[in-house]
Structure 1
Amino acid sequence: MGGFGVAQTTAWQRARATRVVGRVGRVGTAMAEVGRHVTFAGKVLVSLPTALVRYRGQVVREVVDVGFGSKSLVAGGGTVGIVLAMSAVAAIMVGVETYRGLDLIGMTTLSGMLSAMANTRELAPVVASIALAAKVGTGFTARLGSMRISDEIDALDSMSVPTIPYLAGTRLLATMICIVPLYAIGLVATYIATRVVVVYVNGGSAGTYDHFFNITLGPEDVLYSLVKAVVFAAVIVLVHCSYGYHATGGPEGVGRAAGRALRTSILAIGFLDIVLTFALWGLVPEVPALGIT
């Protein structure tokens, strides 16, 4: 019996050691993958001057594709309609819940203030970025992934074409060019949708709403909000291009890469949104025009 117990203990220890080794191996693999993506992002950023100088035509084509697409909006075309629709729908819900919540405490006059703060600081940049990730980012992953599994990227390398500036740098430049007008469209849509809900649907005072909205919204808020949108867009492009560039496993692998890239970019948006909100507006929000902190 003693020998059996020793053998059983030894087998248990071996199994435990195997599990520990497996966990360490998975952690090492995950860290290596993170390092690969970070290295790729650094190479893309360094290659931007090359992409701008040598591949201006490709940048222009990517700008058209990112903004308007190659087909109609109904058939899955550009990002303009998607950002506009998603921003308007989200802002409608902000208007509904804002008015209902303030009505419970008899402070519906502050609807304009909350609209200016919520839409500008949080809703518009996050919604526009998620739309960009879902529409543009997944397209980047699919295209680069299909090029990788069909050996097109290897063919470009064999012809001495720098694939990182040509494939990823041009897409990052195009997105940086497009994000400003796209974001402006989404931001205006949030303002209009929330105002329509508060004033025309719920019967709020238009003058009171506009007064609090105008004194709350400052140019620095819009600028900071644009900074958030630009940072989110850059991260989205870098993440999706990296996953597509390193895709393996055939068409199924490209699909998995697109899903992982979308999950990663959405998580990154959520994390960066918190960090940038505290960095740009401080830990304690302020409304200087009203003397509120």
Structure 2
Amino acid sequence: MAATTPSRPRARLHRAVDTAVGGWIQLGDQTRFFAATVASIPDAVHRYPGEVLRLIAQMGLGTGALAIVGGTVAIVGFLTITTGALVAVQGYNQFASVGVEALTGFASAFFNVRLIVPGTTAVALSATIGAGATAQLGAMRINEEIDALEVIGIRSVTYLASTRVLAGIVVVIPLYCIAVMMAFLAARTGTTAIYGQGSGVYDHYFNTFLNPTDLVWSFLQSVAITVVIMLVHTYYGYTARGGPAGVGEAVGRAVRTSMVVAAVEIVMISLAIYGQSGNFNLAG
């Protein structure tokens, strides 16, 4: 017993060092994969335009049971309707508690554009398009289909990862437009139809505080989030191991990682854009 006791701290130290080294190695592998994927996007457009178009249709309209409800477009629309309704409920009640419920239109124009729509889009993309990409690539990996692509001379990273990142960027354009419109519509309907606020009052404060520049920044923020989400999901799918159980674990890890990274990205981009001046003047 006395001989084994001093070795326990050394064993824990070795495990901690191995864990840290393994984490750095994995981070390096991810960085190399991300760089190769982004650099291969022009090659994917040139060599595999048919695959890019197929993935755009699949991501936007869905396949199988997902296509019945309208695909990712319908899912994002329903999600942003609920978040827009929450702006009406919380905004009206909170402003009414201090006697300025007329500013509910300001809440919709301000929070929907800057935070809620990009965040909701990130969750929808991660849970639908991203998870599907991870499952598809993971299944191909454990069935040795990716190795078969390499054998016949197809660049697997370009064909599988770069095409999906590019398709995600294209698909997010209509998704963002639908998300913004549904959020604005839900907030206005909830405030005017349910709480009885005059539509003229709501529209006045909404139009006063809706800044077109913020919409452009919000769209670019959603595109940047999409790139990161697709990179994370394609990496975990491409490197999946351990059979069907390993694919399921890869999907779970990818969804968790992409949501955390997307949240951090939203905070960092918001601070970079609005951190100094805020681009906001309370008036009207």
TM-score w.r.t. the length of structure 2 is: 0.96
Structural RMSD (CA)? 1.5
Q: Residues 130 and 255 of structure 2 are in contact (CA less than 8 Å); yes or no, is this contact kept in structure 1?
A: yes
Q: Distance in 2 between matches of 1:211 and 1:177?
A: 34
Question: 1:75/1:18 Cα in 2 relative to 1: closer, same or farther (>3 Å)?
Answer: farther
Partner of 1:144: 137
Q: Residues 88 and 187 of structure 2 are in contact (CA less than 8 Å); yes or no, is this contact kept in structure 1?
A: yes
Partner of 1:242: 235
Question: 1:77/1:196 Cα in 2 relative to 1: closer, same or farther (>3 Å)?
Answer: closer
State the shift of 1:289 in Å.
6.8
Question: 1:255/1:77 Cα in 2 relative to 1: closer, same or farther (>3 Å)?
Answer: farther
Question: 1:268/1:211 Cα in 2 relative to 1: closer, same or farther (>3 Å)?
Answer: same
Partner of 1:260: 253
Which runs of no fewer than 5 residues in structure 1 stay unpaired? Answer: 1-6
Instruction: Write the deviation string for residues 180-209 of structure 1: whole angstroms up to 9, x where unpaired.
Output: 111110111000001111111011121111
Partner of 1:4: none
Q: Residues 43 and 164 of structure 1 are in contact (CA less than 8 Å); yes or no, is this contact kept in structure 2?
A: yes
State the shift of 1:11 in Å.
3.4
Q: Choose from 240, 245, 269 the match for 2:262.
A: 269
State the shift of 1:210 in Å.
0.7
Q: Residues 73 and 81 of structure 1 are in contact (CA less than 8 Å); yes or no, is this contact kept in structure 2?
A: no
Q: Choose from 26, 29, 42 the match for 1:36.
A: 29
State the shift of 1:114 in Å.
1.2
Q: Distance in 2 between matches of 1:192 and 1:77?
A: 19
State the shift of 1:283 in Å.
4.3
Structure 1 segments (4+ residues) deviating >4 Å: 72-77
Work out whether 1:93 is the aligned partner of 2:92.
Answer: no
Which runs of no fewer than 5 residues in structure 2 stay unpaired? Answer: none
Question: 1:168/1:78 Cα in 2 relative to 1: closer, same or farther (>3 Å)?
Answer: same
How do 1:78-89 and structure 2 match up within 5 A?
Answer: 78-89=71-82
Partner of 1:3: none
Q: Residues 61 and 67 of structure 2 are in contact (CA less than 8 Å); yes or no, is this contact kept in structure 1?
A: no
Q: Distance in 2 between matches of 1:39 and 1:77?
A: 36
Q: Percent identity?
A: 35
Q: Distance in 2 between matches of 1:24 and 1:204?
A: 61
TM-score w.r.t. the length of structure 1 is: 0.93
Give the greater-gyration-radius structure (CA).
Answer: 1
Q: Count how many residue pairs are aligned between Structure 1 and Structure 2.
A: 284
* Structure 1 residue identity aligned to 2:216: L
Partner of 2:47: 54
Instruction: Write the deviation string for residues 90-111 of structure 1: whole angstroms up to 9, x where unpaired.
Output: 1111210110000100011111
Q: Distance in 2 between matches of 1:23 and 1:246?
A: 24
